[in-house]
Structure 1
Amino acid sequence: MSDYFNGKSVLITGAASGIGKRFAEMISGSKNLTLILWDRNPDTLIENRASLPDDVRIISRGVDVSDRSDVEAAARELDELQVVPDVIVNCAGIVVGKMFHEHTLEDTQNTMQINALGSMWVVQLFLEKMITRGTGHVVNLASASGYIGNPRMSVYAASKWAVIGWSESLRLEMKKLKTGIEVTTVIPSYIKTGMFDGVKPPLMVPLLETDQMVERMIKGISKRKNKIQAPFMVRFVPLIKALLPAGAFDWVAGNVLGVYRSMDSFSGRRQGG
């Protein structure tokens, strides 16, 4: 693995499962590493400790990123420890998997707060300190659904569109102000984390293995890439949408690629990384 994380403090949200858990495990061989693991399932974080090397400094805490006061309290605790993350990896996320009219108001609020606002709050609480230091890296886990609408994913897609727009704008701001802060947006299709159990992957867009995606993330982050898109077909979606009339794109996405049927058999868990 890359030596990019040597000597760094890495904050990971959604660290108890899925991408967040494997990311922590796969960089845990880095030298002088501090892992800051946040998840709203603190008991699972404790159980996962056994999979991490004994010489890694670990600061774990139960944090619900949809609760602003909880995020603020967790950030204050890090301040008391005089720890400012070098890398923030926002992995916390949920998906409901219903038609929009079947969502409860709570479903909609929780999805937007966990997937979008929570990530913003986490970064906002550390960004000025990172700017003062002159270094830092923000990594936001978005989704290919941030490029394309999909039945049973309306609120999830909205949250990921928000993540992509915010991440891109933040990257440009940090560049314009010459802060030294890097921003990487991760844009994958469906990943085998359990979060999307039951989905039928579209044509030419295979389900991604968790380790495969994390390896791509580690490599891309180390190279300071602006975007990490996977699989290969994902990067062409914006271009195809721009070139085709809306009706033609719907026909290709729905009837040829099967995108609009991909969630019909969805059975995944409600929360995950």
Structure 2
Amino acid sequence: MTKISSKIVLITGGAYGIGKLMGREVLKRSGKLVIWDVNKLNLQQTLKEFEEFGEVYGYTIDITNTVWVKEMAKQVEDEIGPVDVLINNAGIVYGGYFHENSSEKIEKTMKVNAIAPMQLAQTFLPGMMTRKEGHICNITSSAGLVSNPKMAVYAGSKWAATGWSDSLRLEMKQLKSGVGITTVTPYYINTGMFDGVKSNIPILDQYKVSKRIIRAIENNRVYLSMPWSMRFVRFSQGLFPIWFYDWFVGRVIGVYKTMDEFKGRKK
């Protein structure tokens, strides 16, 4: 079990969506919450809302800036203490076919969704390993398991994050480090990030998702897929020929059409 009470929990992208809701769950469990977010206004509003619920700290930061991350990590440790639980939650998505994406969008997506979580883990992991306790939760996506038209860049970033996260889990286990790793691969969540998506599979409720993720961390779950049917993705990919898999997932379930009317979060 991973104890959250009195522990320092850092959540990236913690001023909005499931990041904010997970922060509320941390405070309910008497954890010390540290929010990192690029949006200063959202961060200030969240801090004001949360101040009556417990011990909460907020820092405005661009997690793609590695130098900034290192400096801010030291500031957090000096001002609050060593981070016990890191939740890599921040993410971005751009829709459209791959060739329609600019080089800037491709680079930013990879930096936020794949490279930054690795840099953050590299920053906080040595301290956890020294203390022989800690937990890193990486929120990737079902797009890190299922290829999908009009989200090739996003899927690429999430495939990278998913593979890295589970490899890290195996390394920590092999080294008997005492550090737990949880990889979360949810389907679309109703946070506004995927506004316009049409899906035959029910879109996940952000409140339920946030609670399940925190419980997964507490229970040291190595993998959390939502909904339950996502557990069979890799099995079916290996079992069936690709033409049948494409037909079933694309035509019957309709996954390959989900992004056709994608609009994304309003600015």
TM-score (norm 2): 0.96
Match of 2:188 in 1: 190
Match of 2:76 in 1: 78
Match of 1:143 in 2: 141
Report SS of the residue matched to 2:28.
coil
8 Å Cα contact 2:27/2:53 also seen in 1: no
Q: Are 1:175 and 2:173 matched, yes or no? A: yes
Match of 2:99 in 1: 101
Provide Cα deviations, 1:6-61, integer angstroms capped at 9, x if missing partner: 01100000011111011001221223x21110000122111112332436222211
| Distance (Å, rounded) in 1 between the aligned partners of 2:179 and 2:2 | 18
Report SS of the residue matched to 1:94.
coil
Q: Are 1:26 and 2:22 matched, yes or no? A: no
Structure 1 residue 121 displacement after superposition: 0.8
Between stretches 36-45 and 53-62, larger displacement belongs to 53-62
Structure 1 residue 106 displacement after superposition: 0.5
Match of 2:36 in 1: 38
| Distance (Å, rounded) in 2 between the aligned partners of 1:74 and 1:254 | 44
Provide Cα deviations, 1:110-133, integer angstroms capped at 9, x if missing partner: 000000111111111111111001
Match of 2:211 in 1: 215
Gaps of 5+ in 2: none
1:166 to 159, 164, 167: 164
Between stretches 75-84 and 192-201, larger displacement belongs to 75-84
Aligned length: 267
Letter matched to residue 217 of structure 1? I
Structure 1 residue 4 displacement after superposition: 3.2
Between stretches 35-44 and 183-192, larger displacement belongs to 35-44
The Cα RMSD (Å) is 1.6
8 Å Cα contact 2:40/2:60 also seen in 1: yes
Match of 1:114 in 2: 112
Q: 1:79 to 1:3 in 2, by over 3 A?
A: closer
Structure 1 residue 232 displacement after superposition: 1.2
Match of 2:15 in 1: 16
Letter matched to residue 266 of structure 1? F
2:259 to 250, 259, 263: 263
Q: 1:270 to 1:256 in 2, by over 3 A?
A: same
Match of 2:246 in 1: 250
| Distance (Å, rounded) in 1 between the aligned partners of 2:77 and 2:22 | 24
Match of 2:236 in 1: 240
8 Å Cα contact 1:3/1:30 also seen in 2: no
| Distance (Å, rounded) in 2 between the aligned partners of 1:249 and 1:136 | 39
Overall identity of the aligned pairs, in %: 40
| Distance (Å, rounded) in 1 between the aligned partners of 2:184 and 2:133 | 20
8 Å Cα contact 2:94/2:151 also seen in 1: yes
TM-score (norm 1): 0.94
Letter matched to residue 174 of structure 2? K
| Distance (Å, rounded) in 1 between the aligned partners of 2:53 and 2:186 | 32
Gaps of 5+ in 1: none
Report SS of the residue matched to 1:92.
coil
| Distance (Å, rounded) in 2 between the aligned partners of 1:76 and 1:270 | 34
Report SS of the residue matched to 2:83.
coil
